[in-house]
């Protein structure tokens, strides 16, 4: 695995940004989370006049061998069918990327289907779905390395379009199984607390899913490193997202983190290089069972709680207007001195 060179953000400048925000014509802290978002983006860009350029949404899609064990009530073919629906502007993510003027890049990371070449899906297929990790490693080390590299390449493609903010989403029946295992192994939170129903709903279904995933974890007795976890229990779309996040941070992009799946990809990326977290903004808390615990573990409070569990990165794109508002605050709001208003004390 290559070394990612991610710059540590300047703490002295961050304090200068905070002082500037506190000088604006409002009670200190009165714009709550928006002030934290503004501080982060300004610090990433090292300017008191940050700007958001050409936002891109990266949607990685793939299938999972573990789905053969019935860990999802939805059939595997939903992955490729929904992917085609997205190319036809028929999905939730299309509504929000169009509304907020995101460039949507759809990437076939490993779908068990051959897409027609004229759909506009970027072909980075490594294999037609992962192996069934109940019985064997999902991926080889070489396949993991390739997935990370492809994720980096997609971000570099966005950067060539003068993009400095990316959101990342996923599509793949069975991928909450991957996320649950990653979360448990990387945080030491018991797997049972990390496993939710995914697209299912019944308590009995969730229990069966947990039992299958626990058997899968028990199968592997080797060392637990980012590489071994991604190899043994990986999902190609999630690994490409990991590579994308690490590369975006190298390029000093702001990264919008979606729900349970992408929070776990960020968790994995942070185990490869902890500095990546400095470039991440958590968009929303999803309804997936383990997400609240994971956010608490990471010590972050996302912008929104809209009871989403759709995936595709919808929550991240929906949060974008608030992020844009925070940048407008930095650029358009006058200071007390400029406004000739007496300083208003904080509450």
Per-residue pLDDT of the chain (347 residues; tens, 9 = 90+): 889 999 999 999 999 999 999 999 898 998 999 999 999 999 999 999 999 999 999 999 999 999 999 998 889 999 999 999 999 999 999 999 999 999 999 999 999 999 999 999 999 999 999 999 999 999 999 999 999 999 999 999 999 999 999 999 999 999 999 999 999 999 999 999 999 765 555 678 889 999 999 999 999 999 999 999 999 999 999 999 999 999 999 999 999 999 999 999 999 999 999 999 999 999 999 988 899 999 999 999 999 998 888 888 999 999 999 999 999 999 999 887 776 666 655 55
All domains of the chain, ordered by start, with CATH?
56-322 (3.40.50.10210)
Task: Please name the residues in contact with 70: beta carbons below 8 A apart, sequence gap of 6 or more.
Answer: 208, 212
35, 77, 312, 338: the active-site residue: 312
Active site residue 312: yes
Q: Which residues of 258-293 are buried (b: 16+ CB within 10 A; e: fewer)?
A: bbbbbbbbbbbbbbbbebbbbbbbbbbbbbbbbbee
d(CA 248, CA 166): 8
Does pTM surpass 0.85? yes
pLDDT digits (tens, 9 = 90+) for 117-169: 999 999 999 999 999 999 999 999 999 999 999 999 999 999 999 999 999 99
């Amino acid at each position: 695995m290559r070394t990612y060179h991610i710059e540590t953000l300047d703490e002295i400048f961050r304090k200068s940004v905070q002082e500037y925000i506190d000088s604006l014509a409002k009670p200190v802290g009165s714009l709550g989370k928006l002030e934290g978002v503004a501080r982060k983006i300004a610090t990433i860009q090292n300017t008191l006049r940050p700007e958001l350029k050409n936002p891109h949404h990266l949607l990685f899609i793939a299938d999972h061998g573990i789905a053969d064990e019935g860990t999802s009530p939805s059939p595997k073919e939903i992955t490729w069918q929904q992917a085609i629906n997205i190319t036809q502007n028929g999905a939730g993510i299309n509504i929000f990327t169009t509304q907020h003027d995101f460039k949507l890049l759809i990437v076939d990371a490993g779908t068990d289907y051959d897409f027609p070449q004229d759909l506009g899906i970027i072909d980075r297929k490594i294999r037609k779905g992962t192996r069934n990790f109940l019985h064997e490693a999902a991926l080889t080390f070489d396949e993991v390395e390739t997935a990370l590299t492809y994720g980096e390449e997609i971000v570099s493609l966005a950067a060539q379009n003068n993009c400095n903010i990316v959101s990342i989403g996923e599509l793949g029946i069975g991928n909450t199984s991957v996320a649950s295992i990653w979360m448990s192994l990387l945080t030491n939170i018991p797997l049972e607390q990390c496993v939710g129903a995914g697209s299912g709903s019944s308590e009995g279904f969730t229990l069966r899913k947990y039992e299958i995933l626990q058997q899968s974890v028990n199968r592997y007795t080797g060392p637990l490193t980012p590489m071994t976890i991604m190899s043994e229990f990986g999902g190609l779309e999630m690994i490409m997202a990991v590579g994308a996040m690490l590369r975006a941070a190298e390029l000093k992009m702001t990264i919008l983190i979606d729900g349970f799946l992408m929070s776990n990809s960020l968790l994995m990326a942070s185990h490869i290089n902890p500095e990546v977290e400095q470039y991440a903004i958590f968009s929303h808390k999803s309804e997936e069972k383990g997400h609240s615990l994971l956010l608490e573990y990471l010590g972050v409070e996302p912008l929104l709680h809209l009871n989403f569990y759709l995936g595709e990165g919808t929550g991240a794109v929906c949060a974008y207007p608030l992020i844009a508002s925070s940048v407008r605050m930095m650029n358009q709001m006058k200071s007390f001195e400029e406004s000739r208003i007496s300083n208003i004390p904080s509450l």
